[in-house]
Amino acid sequence: MLAANTQTSNHVPGRAAAVIPIRPVQDSDAPRHGTARCSSCSMRSICMPPELSAEDLSKLDTIICSTRAVKRGDTLYRAGDSFKSIYAIRAGSFKTVVMHRDGREHVTGFEIAGETLGLDGVCAGQHNCDAIALEDSVVCIIPFAQLEIICREVKSMQHHIYRMMSGEIVRDSVQMMLLGTMSAEQRVATFLLNLSRRFKARGFSAAEFHLRMTREEIGCYLGMKLETVSRMFSKFQRGHLVHANGKTVRIVDPEGLANV
Please indicate, yes or no, whether residues 113 and 65 belong to a single structural domain of this protein.
yes
Domain membership flag for residue 19? no
User: Does some domain include residue 223?
Assistant: yes
User: Do residue 209 and residue 147 come from a single domain?
Assistant: no
- pLDDT value, residue 9: 41
Asked whether residue 147 is assigned to any structural domain, the reply reads: yes
Tens-digit pLDDT profile for the chain (260 aa)?
A: 334 343 444 444 444 443 334 444 444 433 333 455 776 776 776 778 778 888 888 888 888 768 899 999 999 999 999 999 999 999 999 999 998 888 788 999 999 998 999 999 998 999 999 999 999 999 999 999 999 998 898 888 898 889 888 888 888 888 888 788 889 999 999 999 999 999 998 888 899 999 999 999 999 999 999 999 999 999 999 999 999 988 999 999 999 999 99
Q: Is 14 inside any structural domain?
A: no
Tell me the backbone φ, ψ of residue 216, rounded to 5 degrees.
-65, -40
Query: pLDDT at position 65, please?
Result: 66
Q: Is 195 left (phi over 0), alpha (psi -120 to 50) or beta?
A: alpha
DSSP 146-190: HHHHHHHH-HHHHHHHHHHHHHHHHHHHHHHHHHHH--HHHHHHH
The pLDDT tens digits of the residues spanning 197-213 come to: 999 988 888 999 999 99
- Last residue of some domain: 151, 172, 193? 172
Domain boundary among 172, 198, 223: 172
Residue 135 shares a structural domain with residue 77: yes
Distances (CA, A) of 254 to 39, 87, 112, 183, 243: 36, 32, 21, 18, 12
Q: Do both 41 and 163 map to the same domain?
A: yes
Same domain, 154 and 211: no
Instruction: Give me the percent of the chain exceeding a pLDDT of 90.
Output: 52
Do 48 and 72 have their domain in common?
yes
Whether 135 is in a domain gets the answer yes
Is residue 5 one of the residues assigned to a domain?
no
> Residue 108: which domain range?
27-172
236 found inside a domain: yes
pLDDT (0 to 100) of residue 80: 94
Residue 49 within any structural domain of the chain:
yes
Q: CATH code at 153?
A: 2.60.120.10
Please tell me the distance from the alpha carbon of residue 191 to that of residue 178, in angstroms, as a whole number. Answer: 9
Whether this prediction's pTM lies above 0.85 is answered by no
